[in-house]
Structure 1
Amino acid sequence: MKFEYRSDKLILNNEYIKDSLRIIYVDSLPGCRPVNNTSLTGANKMTDRLWNIALENIESNIIKTEDGEYFGAGQNFGLRIYTRDISYSGILGVNSLYPRKILNSLKVTRNLRLGLGLRVSEGHMIHGLSGNWVQDSLSEKEFLKKYRTNCYTRRTDDVVWLWAAMDLFEKHPELADWQWIYENGKNCFDKLYDPFFDPADGLYRGQASFIDIHFLERKASGYPQDFSVEECVMIKSTSTNCLYYKGLLSMASAAKKLNKPEEASEWLQKAKKLKQAIVSNLRFEDSTFAYFKHTNGELEQRRDAFGAALAVVTGIVEGDDALKAIAGYPVSWAGVPLFYPFYPGKASYHNNTAWPFVDTFFLWAKEIAEGKDYTSFNAALLARTCVKDGSFHEVVNWSTKNPMGSGSQLWSASAFVNVCRRADLFK
């Protein structure tokens, strides 16, 4: 009966989750009753309990406003609109269970993001790039409060929505609006994405996906500490370029659906060229992927779990190259370290942490590359984050191995849906 896992420091069975820090008994977890009544087959009591928690966590993030209905990111994030959280959650499994709500959410993000364009808060103008940049006198905090989202400079992995939308339409053809995805995709490339493309090496600039860039008043933990705000988005990261690859493939598919063969061919050729550019420019000699490429052309001498995972899951590399992409990356009872090695110092959030949804993408990639089943281990890693109120939490502190951050985290709960889907526990 799924899921059961046992190692020296991590145990998941029908009765409890146990790690080196605590034991969580099944009966101590909340008995949730989500609105969605999709049930599992072949699951034990603990797995069923976690499933219902995951669905209720997801549903708790549904936000209704006058501007539309959308998924929020977690308990600590309120009314903010996060394209990446919505999109990754859709890809992980929410597309299967809440298709109309994901579509509504994606439409809210497109209306807001295209309406703002390259309007940014004070200090977030990128002078080295073309585009219709407009700098407001608002601070980023004021910008976020006014628009319920960050300015584009802090969201340069925005292209992820195209992958999520394409996955949604493929799973639910009755909802497919190819004209909507194609028109919005073209507008996004014209207004937001094309200014970040560098024809010199065929890669897109922009932050590493979901890794916060530096703030004006302080440094974030996920980039070199001597970087400026602008330098954080002038890099070329493996993760975000993989998202562009999927975005270009999505545009090609949408054009084909709309009977635009010439345009479909153009998008497909762009995707193929980007795939080759990623392989040629972002890999070390051992065929593992660098976290990112610096503006001077040098590779950052560390790897990141998300970039490696996305290179495999998106099909940038296959076969032996997929095995090499994830080879030697550490995996432990507390998860997968986001960076390998971590940056120096004790600062954390992205540095010195593991993220349960990234763990899930990485183990998904390992299954693709190695042909092995990691679902029970993956389920145990997610289950151990159900601390405090018994909901799926945001992040794991690598120093203490303790889950922390926001509860009812959308993409952490969605990650459990992904594990159940990979284990064929629901249709």
Structure 2
Amino acid sequence: MSVFSSLMLALTAAAHGPLWHDNLHWRGQSASMTIQPGGGFLLQAAHDKRMIPVPPYAVQTASPLFDGLYAMAQDDLRQDSVGSIRDDAFDHGQPMPCTCFETGAKWHYVWTRDLSYAVDLGLWRFDAARSRNGLRFKLSDSRMAGAPKGPFVMQDTGSGGSWPVSTDRVAWFLAARHLLDDPAFADTTWRALTATLVQDRRYVFDAGMGLYRGETSFLDWREQSYPAWMATDVVPIAQSFSLSTNVLHYQALLLAARLAGEHHDARAAEYQAQADALKDAINTRFWRADRGMYMSYLGGDGTPYDSYDLLGIALAIDSGVADAGRARQALANYPVWPAGSPVIWPERSDQPVYHNRAIWPFVSAYALRAARTLDDPAHIAFEITSLMRGAALAGSNMENYELTTEATHVDDGKLSGPVVDSPRQLWSVAGYLAMVSEGVFGLGDDGRIEPKLPVSLVPMLFGNKATISLQLPGRRITLQRPKKLDGNLLVADRIDPHGDDSVVQLKAVTVPELPLRSKVPPFAPPAPAAPDVTRDGANWQVRSSAPGTLYLNGRRVGAIEGTLAVPAADALQCFSVTQAGAGDLESLQSPPRCEGPVSSIEGAWPRAWTAPTAGRYQVALSYRNDHGPINTGVTAAVKQLAIRCEGSPLQTVLVVMPHSAGEQLSTTAQFDAKAGARCGFTLEQGFNMSFLANNAHYTGGAGGSDGPLNDAEVGALRIAPLPAAEGTP
């Protein structure tokens, strides 16, 4: 049976609702749950069995499987609740005291994004103190004299030496917003928020694009989702813009506007204006009308990538960045497989299973939130059953699953995977708990109860019962089944409070249902080689090795098959191509091929140069940064280039030099100069994560226990004119 045939059978079954009372069956595998005499559960998972103790908080439905998996998630959380943490890259692997959550069975540390998403998905309800402790652990002041005062949120070790290649540390504020009832923590959050936003505005915000730069949130294994040629060169990632990190910044700005208002701080209006402008820029830049979805990321010059990720789209919907029309389009157009929703699409045919060809439960939980935002029973039911099935078959809340089977390992030669997986992964645990409290019982972040329960799940959850109930810290929710199921969604008819117990009388309504998109090509074609570009009189002759689309300086020129003539300009012209594939999919972009007049200035600093004509220029540095490997560290070199041109005010631009594999070019910046103006260039200190005091514990590389390090071996200063009327897109 083909993948698509099995998908249609699975989706048809989902439409009628699973009958998962004591067991489920999936692709030749089974899981069953039995209630034990003492009140605990025994799970017979696909390849093992697990005794689950009596949970602190019970759910009572017609399904022992559903009830037992909720108990299992709490047991996973109990095991993730620790008194110390450790990682081989910090304090030489020795334990560090922290009454907090560790990341999983294989990961005994606290990482900013993992903890932040997990707390935002509801761990704050179960252990607020432990959540705050973990979040405090990810804050740090600077250890550099004269540096701005923090505390700052820490960006963990990562691509090219961490921030500002990766910039999703602001996910911290998604979590912190739920814990502001503690005055001391609220004050810490306010100070961290204002300090971190100032720093990001200075170092990663691009005024021309109106967006923040940086890698896709959580999708930080470059080969999995970026073009293969970026595996050894992360400068294009540092230069790029991603949907998810921009939505995170939007949410941080909204929180800043609210808290500034509460503090009677004059910056409230400024934060709100920045948030509004960022929302507009996200919708302008990332929306791809022909796909009906938001793109996952853009090149530094605005080049569109025919690539999409579920977390970014879910965050855009849940945050309100997407209006109702675009939100419904994006969710309906994002594809699903029989087992669940992939975290990226299209997949990569040359990469093993990890982010590629995979389901991540915490992302599925955010997709469930998005589906609830849109009152869509089809996607609500689909994500609930995907989360249940994965946990039941694996016997734990795993980090990820293979896309087509929902297995924790699939043999596929060099593409086997998931390459890395872990039981009781914290954000997966949180995603499962959120599925129960939010997805089934309708408990919102503000404490309001708003069930949106698909009628298709009534046979599993209610069976012949009149009520189902959920116990949580400090409260209990009881849902009462309606007498008639003449609709596709159960919502609240009325809510009767009885002390800490809220009794919700449900009613059935009929709402528009978004289709589950299944018939899509799974793989995009591979990115082609860089185009050949030769000068032929007044034109460039651009030749592509494969039929596809030609882009010039980030803008689409049109179809190319063989050779295409493009008018030459006395300015920098950068060409890239994509390859056409099945279903009109574009490959990821080829490496660029840039042509045009370039000035190369060597020598000691400061350096000087004279502008031949008036206009806008691009500047970059040739450099080498061998302070760490491409995939980790805290020593991405971040410098400011002060440019003093005669007849113009001082211009200061940012230059980032991540860890490199040999000599390469830095990120680019732009400046203006008048004809004949003599310009002086001075390289000044910036800021990187090695400057944070907490990274004195980092023993896995440079810039940690041996002291801050924000440097690179700098070669030529390269300057090229930009086409007139182009400049920043």
1:265 to 263, 269, 279: 269
1:112-127 equivalent positions in 2, closer than 5 A: 124=160
Specify whether residues 255 and 112 from structure 1 end up closer, same or farther in structure 2 by C-alpha distance, changes over 3 A only.
Answer: same
1:179 aligns to what? 187
Q: Deviations over 1:78-137 (max 9, x none)?
A: 2x2211111111111112222111111111111389789899979935xxxxxxxxxxxx
1:38-53 equivalent positions in 2, closer than 5 A: 38-42=57-61, 44-53=63-72
Structure ranking higher in helix proportion: 1
Structure 2: how far apart are the matches of 1:200 and 1:61? Answer: 44
Q: Conserved in 2, the CA contact under 8 Å of 1:117 and 1:191?
A: no
1:406 aligns to what? 422
Specify whether residues 273 and 12 from structure 1 end up closer, same or farther in structure 2 by C-alpha distance, changes over 3 A only.
Answer: farther
Structure 1 residue 7 displacement after superposition = 5.2
Specify whether residues 299 and 122 from structure 1 end up closer, same or farther in structure 2 by C-alpha distance, changes over 3 A only.
Answer: closer
1:290 aligns with 2:319: no
1:190-209 equivalent positions in 2, closer than 5 A: 190-192=198-200, 194-209=202-217
Structure 1: how far apart are the matches of 2:76 and 2:430? Answer: 9
Runs of 4+ in 1 over 6 A off after TM superposition: 112-123
1:54 to 73, 96, 100: 73
Letter in 1 for 2:77: I
2:251 aligns to what? 246
Specify whether residues 192 and 273 from structure 1 end up closer, same or farther in structure 2 by C-alpha distance, changes over 3 A only.
Answer: closer
1:18 aligns with 2:18: no
How many correspondences in the alignment?
387
Structure 2: how far apart are the matches of 1:417 and 1:210? Answer: 20
Compare CA radii of gyration and give the structure with the larger one.
Answer: 2
1:33 to 53, 58, 61: 53
Specify whether residues 7 and 305 from structure 1 end up closer, same or farther in structure 2 by C-alpha distance, changes over 3 A only.
Answer: same
1:338 aligns to what? 343
2:172 to 161, 175, 179: 161
SS of residue paired to 2:117 = helix
Q: Percent identity among equivalent residues?
A: 25
Specify whether residues 167 and 421 from structure 1 end up closer, same or farther in structure 2 by C-alpha distance, changes over 3 A only.
Answer: same
Structure 1: how far apart are the matches of 2:57 and 2:138? Answer: 27
Specify whether residues 362 and 116 from structure 1 end up closer, same or farther in structure 2 by C-alpha distance, changes over 3 A only.
Answer: closer
1:81 aligns to what? 110
Structure 1 residue 177 displacement after superposition = 3.5
Q: Conserved in 2, the CA contact under 8 Å of 1:31 and 1:49?
A: no
- Larger mean CA deviation between 335-344 and 8-17 belongs to 8-17
Structure 2: how far apart are the matches of 1:117 and 1:418? Answer: 25
Structure 1: how far apart are the matches of 2:325 and 2:156? Answer: 43
Structure 2: how far apart are the matches of 1:123 and 1:390? Answer: 32
Structure 1: how far apart are the matches of 2:427 and 2:345? Answer: 22
- Larger mean CA deviation between 192-201 and 85-94 belongs to 192-201
Structure 1: how far apart are the matches of 2:268 and 2:224? Answer: 40
Structure 1 residue 377 displacement after superposition = 3.5
1:70 aligns to what? 100
Q: Which runs of 5+ in 1 are unaligned?
A: 126-150, 215-219
Q: Deviations over 1:274-314 (max 9, x none)?
A: 11110011111244100111112111112211111111011
Structure 1: how far apart are the matches of 2:79 and 2:12? Answer: 33
1:366 to 362, 365, 371: 371
Structure ranking higher in strand proportion: 2
1:316 to 312, 317, 321: 321
Relative contact order (C-alpha < 8 Å, sep 6+): which is higher? 1
- Larger mean CA deviation between 232-241 and 406-415 belongs to 232-241
Structure 1 residue 337 displacement after superposition = 1.4
Structure 1 residue 401 displacement after superposition = 3.7
1:134 aligns to what? none
Letter in 1 for 2:355: H
Q: Conserved in 1, the CA contact under 8 Å of 2:31 and 2:393?
A: no
Q: Conserved in 1, the CA contact under 8 Å of 2:212 and 2:246?
A: yes
Structure 1 residue 176 displacement after superposition = 7.0
TM-score between both structures, scaled by the size of structure 1:
0.82
SS of residue paired to 2:423 = coil
SS of residue paired to 1:73 = coil
Structure 1 residue 40 displacement after superposition = 2.5
